[in-house]
Structure formats: C-alpha cells, structure tokens
C-alpha cells in the first residue's frame, strides 16, 4: 500500500486561484508557520529510541536481541546488524531493558530519544560452560529441582499452579557443586503460559538461587507479556475475574494507590515498626525525576486488616515508582504476603482495573 503525504506543495496546487504578490507572501508565511508547527508537534510526540546492540568482548553485532520495557507488552528485536527502533510513547519514563540468548540483561534507567544508543552486552561464558558440564544429572534429581524452581519462581498460588513452562528442557541446575544452594540457569528465554490470567510471558532469567537451609530464594530477570486475545466469551470473563483478583491488594495496586494518594479509600494502611500509622508525606516524596518512596527504617503494610500483612525493607535510599505501578525492584526487599506473589500472579503494567 502506498501512503501519500499531503504536503504544502499539494495544497498550493489545489488552491491555484489568481492572487496578488502580497497575497502570495502572506500565503507563504502561513505555510511556513504550518510547517513549523507540524515539525514541533512531531518532535514533541516522537518517542522512538534507536540504537545498536553488540557483544562487549568481540564488538560484533547481536541480532535478534530483545529490546523492551520490563513487565509490559512493549518490545522489539534487533536486525542482523544489531540495530533496533522502539516506540516508547506509551511508557516514556520507564526503564528500557535489553536481553539476548547467552548474555546478561542490561536495563537503562536514563536514555535519550535524540541520539542513538550504543549498548554492549556481557556474555554468560562461565555460566553456560557450567550448564553444559552439569547437564548429565539423573532424572529424579532434576525433577525434584524443577519442583523447587517452579514453586519459587511461578508461585504456589492458584495462578502459579495454572502456569506452564513450555521449554523446561532449556533450564538446568548446579548438581552437586553446592548442596545448600540450588542454582538454575536458562540457556534461552523461559516461555510461560499463564492459563489463569490469559498471558504468555517471555522471561529472561539472569539469576536464580534457592537456599535450602534458610528456605529462602532470590531470582532476577526481566519479562515481556503477550495477551491471549481469545474470542471465547467464557474465557474472557474467566480472565477478567482472575486478573481483578490478582490485582486487588497487589504491589501494583499499592504503588498505584500511592501515586494517586488514595490509600484510605483502597484499604491500605502504612505503619512504622511500632505500629503507628504514618501520613503519606512521611514516606512519599518527589523531585525532578518523579515520586519516590523513602524511610529510615522499614514500612509495614496493612490491607483491610488490623494485622500486618507485608513489610517493605529498603535496599536503596530512594525507590522511584510510577503511576502505572512500576517501581525499582532493586530497591525493596518484601516480606509477608506480598513476598509470596511470584511470576504467576504478576500483571502487565498496561493492565487497567475496572470494578
């Protein structure tokens, strides 16, 4: 399909009625002003970042690397020369992540749409070698390790149990090298189908560790959502109800509530460790970069209950967050009920809750 751009020259030809020299000058001034306004408007709304992805060591271009906004539907891939373009107009303030098979992911908190980005990814050489060496583990031990991985990674809630990992063969473990710590590696992005919430997730795993003695765990990575756009009305209703239930009282719900300063009307209370209720201006602040959470100790969260449900332990001095519910995950350690929400309960930041 050809696209015709309706330019000022076209306009002049259409309106080719006789006019004087002064009329011609006035018309040219109007045309110039229209063009200037159009250029300014395009620049104002242009939110497309461009760049090139390459290997940090070899400097060679990385094709089919993923460039995306973590936890959203927004993403693209690099071409054979490592080049990409990504429209971020729907989430202009959020960090941009880059992932590729065999490389550590990179997240950019600050970037510009005015100049191309040059990004280098560090290869996971040592981890991939360890994966190959230890891939001969017996099936029984692998099955036991996979159960632990699924429970900690996807969660044990109803939503977590309704998630399927479509490429489990790409996940391997550190058999025997450390009896107390179970480590998982993914040679490719983990593909997840969430049959409860109606999403497919591509998860780029950078690290997973489960500490058997303390029964605690840690994992890190980024993900992109795609939605099941089924025309089946019963499925749509099922997804809608499950998503609403997943949203209410979630981390996303909490941060969206903080953004709109509507804690009281949504059932959240925030108290200090002594149980004293805090005003929002005691822990939410703003600067030129946006709103952020800050407290000298920890915060206890209460949701429609006089009992504490969750706690926030600060790992950074400032934890920035946005109106769509996104927050800096590296700045907070969760305890309690909200710590139990894993990948199986997470919603994309585009999700809109309707009562």
Please give the Cα distance from 179 to 174 (Å, whole number): 9
Give 250's pLDDT tier (boundaries 50, 70, 90).
very high
Last residue of a domain, one of 99, 123, 147: 123
132 and 218 assigned to the same domain: yes
What's the pLDDT tens digit per position in 124-133? 875 545 555 5
Total Cβ atoms within 10 A of residue 124: 18
- Structural domain including 305 reads 248-345
C-alpha 109/C-alpha 90 separation (Å) is 16
How distant is the alpha carbon of residue 233 from its chain centre? 28
Distance between CA atoms of 63 and 288, rounded to whole angstroms? 36
Give the pLDDT score at 41.
42
Q: Which of 175, 194, 227 is the last residue of a domain?
A: 227
Neighbours of 202 (CB within 10 A): 18
Q: Are residues 175 and 112 in the same domain?
A: no
Q: Model confidence at 264, in pLDDT bands (50, 70, 90)?
A: confident
Give the whole-angstrom CA distance, residue 304 versus residue 247: 15
Residue at 235 is within a domain: no
Residue 353 located in a structural domain: no
Query: Could you give the CA distance from residue 119 to residue 249 in angstroms, rounded to a whole number?
Result: 37
Residue 351 within any structural domain of the chain: no
Tokens standing for 185?
């590696």
In a domain, 1, yes or no: no
| CATH number of the domain bearing residue 115 | 2.60.40.1120
How do strand 190-194 and strand 199-211 relate by DSSP bridges? antiparallel
Is pLDDT larger for residue 346 or for residue 4? 346
Which bin fits 304, alpha (ψ -120 to 50), beta or left (φ > 0)? left
pLDDT of 335 higher than 70: yes
Flag whether 324 is in a domain: yes
pLDDT at res. 40: 41
Residue 48 has pLDDT above 60, yes or no: yes
Considering the domain architecture, whether residues 73 and 154 belong to the same structural domain is answered as: no
Which of 105, 108, 95, 119 is closest to 186 using CA atoms? 105
Contact 188, 101 (CB under 8 A): yes
Question: How many independent structural domains does the chain possess?
Answer: 4
| Domain boundary residue, one of 227, 258, 292 | 227
Are residues 266 and 217 part of one domain? no
| Domain match, 66 and 89 both | yes
Query: What's the mean pLDDT in 82-110?
Result: 91
Query: Could you tell me which residue, 90 or 166, shows the higher pLDDT?
Result: 166
pLDDT of residue 180: 86
């Amino acid at each position: 399909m050809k696209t015709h751009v309706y330019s000022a020259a076209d306009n002049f030809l259409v309106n080719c009625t006789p006019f004087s020299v002064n009329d011609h000058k006035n018309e040219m001034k109007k045309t110039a002003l229209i063009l200037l306004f159009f250029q300014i408007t395009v620049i104002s709304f242009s939110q497309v970042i461009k760049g090139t992805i390459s290997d940090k060591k070899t400097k060679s271009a990385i094709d089919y690397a993923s460039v995306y906004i973590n936890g959203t539907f927004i993403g693209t891939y690099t071409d054979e020369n490592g080049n990409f373009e990504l429209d971020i107009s729907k989430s202009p303030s959020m960090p941009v992540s880059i992932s590729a098979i065999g490389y550590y992911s990179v997240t950019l908190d600050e970037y510009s749409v005015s100049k191309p980005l040059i990004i280098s990814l560090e290869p996971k050489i040592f981890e991939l070698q360890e994966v190959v060496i230890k891939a001969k583990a017996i099936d029984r031990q692998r099955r036991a390790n996979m159960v632990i991985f699924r429970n900690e990674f996807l969660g044990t809630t109803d939503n977590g149990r309704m998630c399927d990992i479509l490429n489990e063969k790409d996940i391997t473990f550190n058999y025997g090298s450390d009896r107390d710590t179970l480590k998982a590696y993914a040679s490719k992005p983990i593909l997840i189908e969430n049959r409860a919430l109606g999403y497919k997730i591509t998860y780029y795993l950078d690290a997973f560790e489960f500490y058997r003695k303390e029964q605690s765990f840690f994992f890190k990575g980024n993900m992109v959502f795609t939605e099941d756009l089924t025309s089946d009305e019963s499925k749509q209703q099922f997804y809608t109800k499950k998503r609403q239930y997943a949203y209410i009282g979630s981390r996303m719900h909490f941060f969206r509530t903080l953004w709109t300063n509507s804690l009281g009307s949504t059932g959240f209370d925030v108290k200090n460790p002594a149980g004293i209720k805090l005003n929002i201006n005691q822990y939410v602040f703003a600067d030129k970069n946006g709103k952020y959470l800050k407290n000298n100790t920890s915060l206890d969260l209460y949701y429609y209950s006089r009992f504490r449900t969750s706690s926030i332990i600060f790992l950074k001095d400032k934890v920035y967050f946005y109106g769509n519910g996104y927050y800096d995950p590296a700045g907070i350690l969760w305890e309690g009920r909200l710590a139990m929400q894993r990948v199986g309960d997470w919603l994309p930041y585009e999700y809109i809750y309707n009562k």
